Amino acid sequence: MGDGRKQGLTHLTERRIVLTNDVIYGYALNASWAVGGAERAQWLLARSLAAKDWDVKIGVRQRLEAGQSDVIDGVEFIGIGRGQ
């Protein structure tokens, strides 16, 4: 335990974040229908984290069918279906 870590805990090096928002995908596509300051900020955050080697996934109910995926600027968009 002299290395600064608590006994029984492992050191995590991989960082992940998952968001759900349909409009972020519009910003990623540079679509004219994408509006909203919060969504734009989330897209910029997602891109920045992906550029720093974070695993970034965004669940989308519209524009992608359930199970379909698309990667833009290192951010993975995953269709989660409308019932989610």
Q: What is the pLDDT of residues 27-81, one digit of tens each?
A: 999 999 888 899 999 999 999 999 999 999 999 998 999 999 999 999 999 999 8
Q: What is the pTM of this model?
A: 0.79
In three-state secondary structure terms, 33 is: coil
* Phi, psi dihedral angles at 22 (to 5 degrees): -70, -35
Contact yes or no for 47/54 (Cβ under 8 A): no
Whether the CA torsion 69, 70, 73, 74 is positive or negative: it is positive
Residue 46 main-chain phi, psi, to 5 deg: -60, -45
Rounded Cα gap, residues 27 and 18, in angstroms: 17
